[in-house]
Amino acid sequence: MSFDAPIKAIGEKDLVAPKSTFKSITEAVARVTENPAPKGWWIAFLTAFSFTGVLLGSIGYLFWKGVGVWGNNSPVGWAWDITNFVWWVGIGHAGTLISAVLFLFRQKWRTSINRFAEAMTIFAVICALIFPGIHVGRVWHAYYLAPIPNQMGIWPNFKSPLLWDVFAVSTYFTVSSLFWFVGLIPDLATLRDRAKNSLRRMVYGFLALGWRGSNRHWQNYERAYMILAALSTPLVLSVHSVVSFDFATSVEPGWHTTIFPPYFVAGAVFSGFAMVMTLLLIARSVFKLTDLVTMTHVELMNKIMLATGSLVGYAYAMEFFIAWYSGNEYERYVFINRATGPYAWAYWIMISCNVISPQLFWSKRLRTNIPLSFVVSIFINIGMWFERFVIIVTSLHRDFIPSSWGYFHPTLVDITTYLGSLGLFFTLFLLFLRWVPMIAIAELKSILPEADPHHGEHHDEAHEGDSHGEPALATTAEGH
Amino acid sequence: MSVETTTVSVPEGRPALLLAEYETPGACMKAAEKLRDAGFTKFDTHTPFPIHGMDAAMGMGDSKLGWIVLVMGITGLMTGIALITYANGIDYPIIVGGKPAISIPAYVPVCFELTILLSAFGAVFGMFGLNQLPRHHHPVFESDRFKAATDDKFFVSVEYADPKFDADRTPELIASTHPNHIEIIEDTES
């Protein structure tokens, strides 16, 4: 069965509510950006915006006083800063997975959620990019993250995974932004053509670049989109692999493991899907998009979380097994210390949130339960933050000699910086919901049955030699 | 042939167009096929979303974008190799961890990322170049009905500049494809 076949013919459910038309899709998505914002939006926006202020204040204070305002100490030289960095980058990964990987696999259900998830990627990566920049200590040396020689003419070390990380994350940010903007062009043209006042017409018109839906353009456009998807797929796998190299290439028990790249990528997808779920369930109910984001989407996303959650659980178990099997006593100690030492509380929060909670989704009744999906998605967000905390802090806090043992206590500035980064993320996200079509209008139209140029014709002509799905095809067509 | 026809004027010096509006993707595609079979080359379809099979219906060749991306990707790879070799191998070699100054395995991540980055630039800006975008002024925007091209209507435009264009016969040909409406966008002042 070809991937162009109507969705019912391949045994799937409707991807949008059955009564949807081209017009109703345009209306449903565009009206969110045109009507005055609901009161709830303002409350959420002002809250998020004040937390952005908290972030700026915390960073300002950090720059003024120095890294001592954080709880980082010796031996715990990396703590919440890098935990937050890895957590935010990971959250971004689901957006690319949905927009690129599921696109290449022709998973049409992604169409309702891809715009949303891509926006989340970009905002999460913006939050992530803050942390490596501010934790360098002497911020006036932050330029040395980029390949620029210092005053002695010395270049950054290209053999260092920290430098690779700079290239990986900034490439990821740039490519994700381009991918997102390319996807937006036809929808910005839709907003331009619906604009009631000249300011909207000017702004959306400028951004739409004079898009006129020309088929001679669509051809290059679709090719560009496919190439970007094909480029983003290895890119997204490389980004979290490179992030994991920051740990894996160091000679540090608990970090120096070959399982890290795939384990980090699975965890990233897991946490990203959880964040998409959290945001989507809120936006879906606030902006009444239940026709476009259906139960099918929620269920499929919960299945992905079950799969990636189980992968992560496998990785935890395998790390433990290898720690024992390697016979390396330092490695063994780090792992036993993780589960039973002073940070056992963090370890068991991680295990219960990441490994146990998604197992509920084996039951169809539970994975189609909206409040439960929401609660589990929050648990996973928390659990994945703790995963990074456990990896970073528990591996560092007991160095090789007991005289270099310590314990990490977060300070107020640690906490305000983290909460502030959430504020920045939600500020950007709420602005996106308000001003940008949050669902890909053009793409969603193209999966309606009416979008098939042979819609309504006799199927013997249109789909010759295709016996497998005939009855279903006929039903689809007669339904309209 | 009871298709409603209206005329819209465009400022002098802009190409003139015949614009037909259709209700369904199928009708639009049939019109494109008819124009292709009649030998037209300077015509286009304008649709809210890409329609499968339209490239063939319009007699278009394949997109050349892949070649641009290939060239840009190779440029990115070469940039990475040159940058690392110059910075750490020639300009200021530093021995770190006992590895040679020019250590090929350590090239991989940065070269890979730069290949992806420049390929993505090639894909996006190459697409803009091939499509000649941004272009905020085009005769089709003179039409008010054309606003529906990004909503739920499907359009065919034929340029007067097409060698096959005939002021009498082409509108008749278009009218025979059952459009909702035909608009003539021309310079009425001359």
Cross-chain residue pair A158–B110, CB shorter than 8 Å: yes
> Nearest residue on chain B to A178, judged by CA atoms?
B124
Distance from the Cα of B101 to chain A's closest Cα (Å) equals 9
Q: How many CB atoms lie within 10 A of CB A299?
A: 16
For residue A441, list chain B residues with Cβ-Cβ distance below 8 A.
Answer: 48
Cross-chain residue pair A452–B99, CB shorter than 8 Å: no
CA distance A120 to A17: 25
Closest CA to B24 of A82, A451, A150, A316: A451
CA distance A323 to A328: 7
Q: Residue A403 gets which letter from DSSP? A: G
Cross-chain residue pair A238–B63, CB shorter than 8 Å: no
Residue A460 forms part of a structural domain: no
pLDDT tens, chain A, 480 aa long: 344 444 444 445 555 666 678 888 888 788 878 888 888 888 989 999 999 999 999 999 999 998 889 988 888 889 899 999 999 999 988 888 888 888 888 777 777 788 888 899 999 999 999 998 898 888 888 888 888 888 888 999 898 898 999 999 999 999 999 999 999 999 999 988 888 888 888 899 899 898 888 888 899 998 999 999 899 989 999 999 999 999 998 888 889 988 999 999 899 989 988 998 998 888 887 777 777 778 888 888 899 999 999 999 999 999 999 999 988 999 999 999 999 989 999 999 999 999 999 999 999 999 888 899 999 999 999 999 999 999 999 999 998 888 989 899 999 999 999 999 999 999 999 999 888 888 888 888 888 777 777 776 654 444 444 444 333 333 333 333
CA distance A420 to A58: 8
- The two tokens of residue B75 are 């440029």
CA distance B65 to B99: 40
B81 and chain A in contact, CB less than 8 A: no
Biggest distance spanned by C-alpha atoms of chain A: 82
Cα A426 to Cα A28, A97, A270, A281, A308: the distances in Å are: 23, 21, 20, 15, 25
| Nearest-by-Cβ selection for A215 from B47, B141, B150 | B47
Burial of A103 (0-12, 13-18, 19+ CB in 10 A): buried
| pLDDT (0 to 100) of residue A11 | 45
| pLDDT (0 to 100) of residue A126 | 93
Cross-chain residue pair A218–B112, CB shorter than 8 Å: no
CA distance A389 to A348: 12
B38 and chain A in contact, CB less than 8 A: no
Residue A459 forms part of a structural domain: no
A223 and chain B in contact, CB less than 8 A: yes
For residue A227, list chain B residues with Cβ-Cβ distance below 8 A.
Answer: 65-66, 69, 119, 123
Residue A463 forms part of a structural domain: no
* Residue B65 scores a pLDDT above 80: yes
Cross-chain residue pair A213–B141, CB shorter than 8 Å: no
- The two tokens of residue A478 are 């007669």
Distance from the Cα of A56 to chain B's closest Cα (Å) equals 30
- The two tokens of residue A96 are 């690319």
| pLDDT (0 to 100) of residue A472 | 37
> Nearest residue on chain A to B105, judged by CA atoms?
A159
Of A403-417, B29-43, B52-66, give the range with the top mean pLDDT. A403-417
For residue A167, list chain B residues with Cβ-Cβ distance below 8 A.
Answer: 109-110, 113-114
Residue A469 forms part of a structural domain: no
For residue B55, list chain A residues with Cβ-Cβ distance below 8 A.
Answer: 215, 219
Q: Which residue has the tokens 């070269």?
A: B111
Three-class HEC string of chain B = CCCEEEEEECCCCCCCEEEEEECCHHHHHHHHHHHHHCCCCCEEEECCCCCCCHHHHCCCCCCCHHHHHHHHHHHHHHHHHHHHHHHHHHHCCCCCCCCCCCCHHHHHHHHHHHHHHHHHHHHHHHHHHHHCCCCCCCHHHHCCHHHHHHCCCEEEEEECCCCCCCCCHHHHHHHCCCCCEEEEEECCCC
The pairs formed by A78-82 with CB atoms below 8 angstroms and a separation of 24 or more are: A78/A135, A78/A392, A78/A393, A78/A396, A79/A392, A79/A393, A79/A408, A79/A410, A79/A414, A80/A389, A80/A410, A80/A414, A80/A417, A80/A418, A81/A131, A81/A134, A81/A135, A81/A417, A82/A131, A82/A132, A82/A135, A82/A246, A82/A388, A82/A392
CA distance A399 to B113: 34
B112 and chain A in contact, CB less than 8 A: yes
| Nearest-by-Cβ selection for A154 from B92, B147, B149 | B92
Q: Give the number of domains in chain A.
A: 1
Provide the pairing of β-strand B4-9 with B181-186: parallel
- The two tokens of residue B17 are 């167009």
The amino acid sitting at B166 is D
Residue A177 forms part of a structural domain: yes
H/E stretch holding A414: helix A412-435
Distance from the Cα of A434 to chain B's closest Cα (Å) equals 20
C-alpha angle A471-A477-B3 in degrees, rounded to nearest 5: 150
Total count of residues recorded for chain A:
480
CB-based contact B179:B39 (threshold 8 Å): no
> Nearest residue on chain B to A195, judged by CA atoms?
B147
| pLDDT (0 to 100) of residue A17 | 64
For residue B66, list chain A residues with Cβ-Cβ distance below 8 A.
Answer: 223, 227
B100 and chain A in contact, CB less than 8 A: no
CB-based contact A292:A28 (threshold 8 Å): yes
**Domain range holding A404?**
7-138+158-450
A216 and chain B in contact, CB less than 8 A: yes
Closest CA to A81 of A98, A100, A58: A58
Residue A55 forms part of a structural domain: yes
CB contacts < 8 A, A to B, total: 215
| Nearest-by-Cβ selection for A231 from B58, B120, B151 | B120
Residue A1 forms part of a structural domain: no
CA distance B63 to B55: 10
Q: Which residue has the tokens 């640690």?
A: A414
- The gap from C-alpha A133 to its chain's centroid, in whole angstroms, comes to 21
Total count of residues recorded for chain B:
190
Contacts of A172 (CB under 8 A, 6+ apart): A89, A92, A96, A125, A235, A236, A239
CA distance A224 to A219: 9
| pLDDT (0 to 100) of residue B13 | 59
A169 and chain B in contact, CB less than 8 A: no
> Nearest residue on chain A to B143, judged by CA atoms?
A193
- Specify the CATH number for the domain of residue A382: 1.20.1630.10
| Nearest-by-Cβ selection for A224 from B32, B65, B103 | B65
B35 and chain A in contact, CB less than 8 A: no
A403 and chain B in contact, CB less than 8 A: no
A154 and chain B in contact, CB less than 8 A: yes
For residue B107, list chain A residues with Cβ-Cβ distance below 8 A.
Answer: 158
For residue B50, list chain A residues with Cβ-Cβ distance below 8 A.
Answer: 215, 218-219, 221-222, 442, 446
Q: Which residues pair with B159 in a beta bridge?
A: B17
| pLDDT (0 to 100) of residue B82 | 95
| pLDDT (0 to 100) of residue A470 | 37
Question: In chain B, what are the domains?
Answer: 4-62+136-186 (3.30.70), 65-131 (no CATH)
Q: Residue A274 gets which letter from DSSP? A: H
Order of strands, sheet of B181-186, starting from the edge strand that comes earlier in the sequence: B4-9, B181-186, B17-22, B154-159, B43-46
Cross-chain residue pair B116–A213, CB shorter than 8 Å: no
> Nearest residue on chain A to B115, judged by CA atoms?
A231
Cross-chain residue pair A167–B136, CB shorter than 8 Å: no
CB-based contact A124:A425 (threshold 8 Å): yes
Q: Is the dihedral of CA A54, A57, A63, A65 positive or negative?
A: negative
Read off the pLDDT band of B11 (50, 70, 90): low
Q: What is the DSSP string of A44-80?
A: HHHHHHHHHHHHHHHHHHHHHH-GGGSS--SS--SSH
- The two tokens of residue A283 are 């936006």
The amino acid sitting at A115 is R
For residue B155, list chain A residues with Cβ-Cβ distance below 8 A.
Answer: 213
Q: Cα-Cα-Cα-Cα dihedral of A145, A149, A152, A157, to 10°?
A: 60
- Mean pLDDT throughout B153-177? 83
Residue A473 forms part of a structural domain: no
- The two tokens of residue A111 are 């169409």
For residue A228, list chain B residues with Cβ-Cβ distance below 8 A.
Answer: 120, 123-124
The backbone torsions φ and ψ at residue A448, rounded to the nearest 5 degrees and listed phi first, read -70, 150
3-state secondary structure of A89: helix
| Nearest-by-Cβ selection for B44 from A149, A214, A222 | A214
| pLDDT (0 to 100) of residue A297 | 84
| pLDDT (0 to 100) of residue B143 | 81
